[in-house]
Amino acid sequence: MRKTTLAALAAGVAIALASQPTLAADKLKIGFLPGVVDPFYQVMQLGVEKAAKDLGAEVVTQVPPTWGVEAQTPLLDAMVARGDLNYIIIAPVDKDQMVGPLKTAADHGIKIITVDTYLGDGDYVKGPVKFPLSYIGSDNIEGGRIAARGLAKAIGGKGSVYINSTNPNVSSVEGRAVGFKEVMAKEFPDIKVIGPDFNLDDPNKAAQQTAAVLSREPNLAGVFGTNVFSAQGAGTAVVNAGLGGHVQVVAYDATQLAIELMDKGVVSLVLAQKPFDMGYLAVAFAASDAAGVTSLPPRVETGFAIIDKDNVKDPAIARFIYKVK
């Protein structure tokens, strides 16, 4: 869906709800359940809260302290048990294992909107999982392709590159590795891909894993960190090994740290996602659905800002760096 249409939709909902304060106050109560505590989801929460304020919705937020089904499921179950939520906006931490708990929520009459990550194959019309209203997030396979081309360019099209990622079976990071490997295999025959290793969303583990690969692979020319913690760990390991500028890092997620590492020549490309948009639109979708809108798209790709040292000072690009305050 085009941005303008979405903006018009959100504005339309705002006007509709402003003129019907009872609907907003009495009926629209939304649970927000992101994947973990990190700057990406903190910015998403800003989008959720802004939309809730603009549209007159009430939001209950629970953030799992660690990434995993065992952390997210009890928070979800507690949201269902409250009995007062009409919608849950969630980033499912596993594309298969969260289907059951979310189906239970849907069976209790709660409508589900997934943000950032999806269930099943993400096709809620023809795929195996159909009950969510929509997926709003990045096209992560395409993001992986962009990362691959950026890293290949930075290393001159040859050598070994290493993928450090978080967990298996997570639609977002899995898609990034798929797109990355696809482009390397098709377009860069002189690049060998190693990994992914899974750091379980722990930057220290990511740093240790990257350090191990750096010491055993003398030809290592680049690293793709598939999210905030992977890129942070990868960057730290490269700096600690004294290889900043020799081993190039491409970072998914535009944290301040990733930008600092770019300023120092360690990171060559940063992919900024649009978590604010994801959060804002998800609430606008809930409000639209509650107001009777029947044509909401089942998938919305929010796009990227691709940041490098040449455009990082451009305000039109820099605005996508994740700022929590």
Q: Does 232 bind ligand T6T (CB under 6 A)?
A: no
Instruction: State which residue, 169 or 311, has the beta carbon closest to ligand T6T.
Output: 169
Nearer to ligand T6T, 268 or 273 (CB): 273
In the bound state with ligand T6T, the residue whose beta carbon lies nearer, of 56 and 235, is 235
- The answer to whether 135 contacts ligand T6T (rule: CB under 6 A) is no
Query: Is the alpha carbon torsion for 35, 40, 42, 47 positive or negative?
Result: negative
Segment (H or E) for 184: helix 171-187
Binding residue count for ligand T6T, defined by CB under 6 A = 14
Q: Are 159 and 223 in contact, with CB atoms under 8 Å apart?
A: no
* Smallest distance from ligand T6T to CB 121, Å: 16
31: phi then psi, degrees, rounded to nearest 5: -95, 140
Minimum distance from residue 41 beta carbon to ligand T6T (Å): 6
Interacting residues with ligand T6T between 88 and 127 (CB under 6 A): 116-117
Q: Which helix (H) or strand (E) holds 53?
A: helix 39-55
At its nearest, how many Å lie between ligand T6T and the CB of residue 239? 20
Pick between residue 38 and residue 289 the one whose CB is nearest to ligand T6T.
38
Strands 159-165 and 220-225: parallel
Segment lying near ligand T6T (by CB under 6 A), choices 35-43, 101-109, 180-188, 279-287: 35-43
**Residue pair 260/321 in contact by the 8 Å Cβ criterion:** no
| Closer residue to ligand T6T (CB): 152 or 228 | 228
Listing DSSP states for 234-290 in one string gives: HHHHHHHTT-BTTBEEEEES--HHHHHHHHTTSEEEEEE--HHHHHHHHHHHHHHHH
Bridge partners of residue 160, in order along the sequence: 192, 220
Examine residue 228 and tell whether it contacts ligand T6T (CB under 6 A): yes
CB closer to ligand T6T, 118 vs 124: 118
**Structural contact between residues 273 and 40, judged by C-beta atoms closer than 8 angstroms:** yes
Cβ proximity to ligand T6T: between 117 and 248 the closer is: 117
Residue 228 beta carbon to ligand T6T: minimum distance, rounded to whole angstroms: 3
47 contacts: CB under 8 Å, gap ≥ 6? 275, 276, 277, 278, 279, 280, 281, 282, 283
In the list 227, 236, 248, 268, the residue contacting ligand T6T (rule: CB under 6 A) is: 227
Q: In the set 17, 28, 41, 258, which binds ligand T6T (CB under 6 A)?
A: 41
Q: Which of 35, 92, 144, 195 binds ligand T6T (CB under 6 A)?
A: 35
- Is there binding between residue 172 and ligand T6T (CB under 6 A)? yes
Q: Is 229 a residue that touches ligand T6T (CB under 6 A)?
A: yes
Burial 250-289 (b: 16+ CB within 10 A, else e): bbbbbbebbbebbeeebbbbbbbbbbbbbbbbbbbbbbbb
For ligand T6T, which is the closer residue by CB, 29 or 181? 181
Under a CB-based contact definition with an 8 Å cutoff, are residues 136 and 110 in contact?
Answer: no
List Cβ neighbours of 160 (8 Å cut-off, separation of 6 or more). 191, 192, 193, 194, 217, 219, 220, 221, 222
When the beta carbons of 41 and 162 are compared against ligand T6T, the nearer one is 41
Q: Contact letters (x/-) for ligand T6T, 271-290, by CB under 6 A?
A: --x-----------------
Q: Among the candidate windows 18-26, 33-41, 149-157, 316-324, which touches ligand T6T by CB under 6 A?
A: 33-41
Compute the distance between CA of residue 296 and CA of residue 274 in angstroms, rounded to an integer: 19
Binding site for ligand T6T (CB under 6 A): 35, 38, 40-41, 116-117, 172-173, 227-229, 252-253, 273
